[in-house]
Amino acid sequence: METQGGITVRRVLELPGLRGGLPEVVACAEALDRTVRWVHAGEVPNIASLLKGGELLLTTGLGLGSRPAEQRAFVRRLAERGIAALVVELGARFDRLPAALVDTARSAGLPLVQLHREVPFVSVTEEVHTEIVNGHYALLRQAEEVHHRCTEAVLDGGGVERVLRILADFTGNPVFLETAEGRLLYAAAPGAAPAAADPLDVWAGLRGRRAARAAGPPAGAVLVDVAGRGHGTGAVRARLVIPAVSAAALPVHRLAAERVAGTLAVVLMQARQEEELAARGRGDFLTDLAEGRIRPEDAPERARVLGFRPGDGPLLPVVMRLGPDRAADRAPGAEPPPVGNWAVLAGAVLEELSAVGVPVLLGVRPVEGRVPLLLGLRAESERTAVADRVAAALRAGVARAGVERPGAPPPVVVVGVAGGWAAASASLRHAAETAAAARGLPDLPWYDARRLDIDLLLWRLREHPDLAAFVDRAIGPLRAHDRSSRPALLPTLEVFLAHAGRKAETARELHLNRQTLYNRLGRISELLGTDLDDPQAVLALSLALRARRHTPGG
């Protein structure tokens, strides 16, 4: 009774108040284990409309009606309301309960009790309500005891796994902590569970069943949200799932889970903060190395402290830049754009990088909106193959972490020049700057920093007024044309220059016939007043097209 947090009909009939009325169960004795939520006394025919379900109804029968049809309707309405039981005191209205009443209660599955002696209904109500309140208080005590044990475990240095084990032992069922999207984070089984009840096997079965139904947890399971922060009020960081596998899920289990969820929220928040601080610490080391604040001879030992042991092969710097608003393009002192939880990002990316097969040192730099890495290669010849795997892992980690805003451009991944610790400083800095300069380029899995030196040079000149003036002189007439006329000619010029002036390849990529292409190129030459066969003119146009990404109006 205490575990269920209520009082059953059977227990109510054993209390002194009703026991003095010599109760006799005349219908549905098998349903006496129903829980009584409250007690109500009344004598009106429409009393069912006043009830919510779970009540024990006390009556002398004055509102039951005199005709069998009225009595049957009265009982059916109570059964539809879902009351726990109907108790009728004999004497005032009936000497014994009518057959229509008893038969209808039996067919509706409603426990029906008659009292052979008069009892004070108010005393019965007070007695039952006291039992109900005491039962709820007992539940709260049990739940608070579990919460207390979990809190002590955390203060003793225990983590999420230990908290879940305490909850699993209390409920007698496996306990799972999953992400808001349904990905398993932690699992624990009760200590007394049989060896066959592996929680991961249970999880696999539940996941398959949930996927087949495209629904939530199985019937009878306890599901409690673990609150998060930083993504709006009411955000869910994780969920506790307690399926009724080895034992029934009881109300006290939900109470305990709701209290433990608060402890888990604090533990997860602390873990995320520690993860983010560690990731930022690694990012600071890589930035200090790039800026020359760490001597090459000191770098290997400091890297070992951070867990990076690359061996004797070359080091490969990689930089990933996130967000639509690049740090390099913001005004001095401006806040970086929100990119989500950096600890989540670092964790997801590291998980993906674990399959790359090389030593990795990964950090985060929220201020610049970038993720710098150093990778240990066995030989320079591995550079391209490792870069392919690393770029794929970085993008997969960003997608899993869900930190980029909808509509934002994809991450930019730049791979630097491989070398030793002495070269790592300049190579990391070069990769970081090139990642900023790569804004607006056609999306590629990764960019080779060595092939973007012209873009980097133009990016460094982005604030110089001469750069914007140069772009306007070189392609300004085409920009003006494309703002007011169709077809746009700048895309045609870009493709033409990308194919080094080869007209057949240009026409093929643009899906144009030769004459249409010739007409467009003629119009471009006319607007610009230049010869597209002149190498100097072609060089100037190529530079202007690259530079326009870094000037107002793009």
More reliable by pLDDT, 493 or 274? 493
Q: How far apart are CA 137 and CA 255, in angstroms?
A: 11
pLDDT for 102 beyond 70: yes
Q: What is the pLDDT of residues 156-209, one digit of tens each?
A: 877 788 888 899 898 888 888 887 767 777 778 887 554 445 666 676 666 655
Specify the amino acid at residue 266.
V
CATH number of 465-550: 1.10.10.2840
Q: Do domains 7-131 and 465-550 have the same CATH topology?
A: no
Res 334: pLDDT: 43
Report the 3 state secondary structure along 204-232.
Answer: HHHHHHHHHHCCCCCCCCEEEEEECCCCC
Q: Are 123 and 21 in contact (CB under 8 A)?
A: no
Q: What is the pLDDT of residues 277-317, one digit of tens each?
A: 678 888 889 999 999 989 999 999 888 888 899 988 999 99
Residues of the chain by 3-state class (helix, strand, coil), percent to 5: 50, 15, 35
Domain limits, the chain: 7-131, 158-270, 294-460, 465-550
Report the 3 state secondary structure along 22-55.
Answer: CEEEEECHHHCCCEECEEEECCCCCHHHHCCCCE
294-460: in CATH 3.30.70: yes
Q: How far apart are CA 90 and CA 28, in angstroms?
A: 19
212: confidence class by pLDDT, cuts 50, 70, 90: very low
Q: What is the mean pLDDT of residues 372-380?
A: 94
Res 24: pLDDT: 94
pLDDT for 5 beyond 70: no
The values of phi and psi at residue 13, to 5°, are -70, -15
Res 436: pLDDT: 87
- CATH architecture of the domain with residue range 158-270: 2-Layer Sandwich (3.30)
Q: How far apart are CA 512 and CA 78, in angstroms?
A: 79
DSSP letter (8 states) at residue 330 = S
Peptide bond into 487 cis (omega under 30): yes
DSSP letter (8 states) at residue 6 = S
The token pair at 486 is 């169709």
Q: How far apart are CA 69 and CA 101, in angstroms?
A: 9
Res 229: pLDDT: 57
pTM: 0.52
Q: What is the mean pLDDT of residues 448-474?
A: 91
7-131: in CATH 3.40.1390.20: yes
Q: What is the mean pLDDT of residues 417-438?
A: 92
| Of the listed ranges 129-133, 317-321, 530-534, the one predicted with least confidence | 129-133
